[in-house]
């Protein structure tokens, strides 16, 4: 059995060893209380908060026209918080390219009017959706940058004459991206930016003027924009983890280098999937995700055997989402080239035995 474990989980995701070491040191320092015991209003944590906000802004390439909000609740809370803040008495439009876009639409419909602007569901979510119709006085067009279950990804933001809102949870800060061209981008941190408990929202400040005054302060984005995201006690460890991840990303050469590495890893795995007829991935080539790669043995009866033998060989987290089945390899920022090479070698060995 391979004693090295390679984690391909869709999230929470692998952390780099250097980041784990720094978090361990932050949790068990030698001569002072750990960072999670320090006051979130004290000077020590305020230094973390200020550096984290600044590094997110710098890494995303946005200026002061965008606010950086560090929130709780994950993307699922944003599905509701966005229409509460920005779509009062106005319809919101949604491009549906997979499971999470549908979830966002369903949640928005519990708040107000939400319509489908385009969908690729009829094609089994194997391609991107095009904008077909946007209602009059539309509040915003929502899209999911990378659908982590179906493995479909936008190369760039879609074109529309209304504000763009992007769920970037599974690809946030994984490559250079024109965040300044997106009016709102939001993402849970647990894929590419650390651990669960933190949600990053990048929002054009002029959109804050739309927020209805009667909204509860906790749900009002202005409460967070006006208080360095410290409206209440933050998820301290998640903030520290995100800061350490951003420092690590800069040490790796920034988003240019990380994006190039992510692209090469994905291309290598797709090439292995496409090399023979043993494996298949149905997504159109130009729409394939760099972050999440679903695939199946052509004989799907072999899926359970593959998962069992993969785990015995230290390859874990490869089970596809329960709504899609099959297999899925997630290649987030901290994933290693060695892990991908090991997976490909195991796939080839598996095919030799069962093909």
List the catalytic residues: 100, 167, 191
Contact criterion met (CB below 8 Å) for 227 and 240: no
How many angstroms separate the CA atoms of 113 and 88, rounded? Answer: 9
Contact criterion met (CB below 8 Å) for 303 and 326: yes
User: What does the buried/exposed string (b/e) look like for 212-230 if buried means 16 or more CB atoms within 10 Å of the residue's CB?
Assistant: eeebeeeebbbbbbeebbe
Torsion of CA 191, 21, 249, 41, to 10 degrees: 80
Contact criterion met (CB below 8 Å) for 311 and 2: no
User: What does the buried/exposed string (b/e) look like for 253-285 if buried means 16 or more CB atoms within 10 Å of the residue's CB?
Assistant: eebeebbebbeebbeebbebbeeeebbebebee
Contact criterion met (CB below 8 Å) for 217 and 27: no
How many angstroms separate the CA atoms of 289 and 22, rounded? Answer: 31
The vertex-179 CA angle with 176 and 182, nearest 5°, equals: 145
Question: In the beta sheet, which residues pair with residue 202?
Answer: 68, 185
């Amino acid at each position: 059995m391979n004693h090295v474990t390679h984690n391909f989980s869709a999230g929470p995701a692998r952390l780099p060893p250097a980041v784990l070491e720094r978090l361990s040191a932050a949790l068990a320092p030698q001569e002072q209380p750990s960072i999670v015991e320090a006051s979130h209003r004290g000077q020590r944590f305020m230094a973390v908060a200020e550096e984290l906000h600044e590094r997110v802004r710098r890494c995303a390439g946005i200026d002061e026209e965008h606010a950086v909000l560090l929130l709780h609740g994950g993307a699922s809370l944003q599905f509701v918080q966005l229409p509460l803040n920005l779509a009062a008495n106005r319809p919101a439009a949604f491009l549906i390219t997979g499971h999470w876009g549908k979830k966002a639409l369903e949640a928005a419909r519990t708040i107000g009017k939400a319509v489908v602007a385009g969908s690729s569901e009829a094609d089994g979510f194997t391609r991107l959706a095009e904008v077909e119709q946007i209602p009059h006085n539309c509040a915003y067009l929502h899209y999911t940058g990378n659908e982590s279950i179906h493995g479909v990804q936008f190369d760039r933001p879609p074109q529309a004459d209304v504000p763009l809102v992007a769920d970037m949870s599974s690809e946030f800060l994984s490559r250079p991206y024109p965040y300044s061209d997106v009016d709102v981008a939001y993402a849970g941190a647990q894929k590419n930016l650390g651990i669960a408990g933190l949600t990053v929202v990048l929002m054009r400040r002029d959109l804050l003027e739309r927020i209805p005054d009667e909204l509860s302060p906790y749900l009002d984005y202005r409460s967070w924009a006006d208080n360095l995201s410290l409206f209440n006690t933050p998820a301290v460890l998640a903030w520290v983890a995100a800061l350490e991840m951003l420092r690590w990303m800069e040490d790796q050469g920034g988003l240019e280098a990380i994006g190039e590495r992510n692209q090469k890893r994905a291309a290598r795995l797709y090439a292995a999937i496409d090399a023979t007829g043993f494996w298949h991935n149905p997504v159109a080539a130009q729409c394939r995700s760099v972050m999440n790669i679903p695939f199946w043995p052509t004989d799907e009866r072999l899926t359970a055997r593959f998962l069992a033998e993969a785990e015995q060989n230290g390859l874990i987290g490869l089970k596809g989402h329960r709504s899609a089945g099959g297999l899925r390899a997630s290649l987030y920022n901290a994933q290693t080239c060695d892990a991908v090479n090991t997976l490909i070698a195991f796939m080839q060995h598996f095919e030799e035995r069962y093909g």
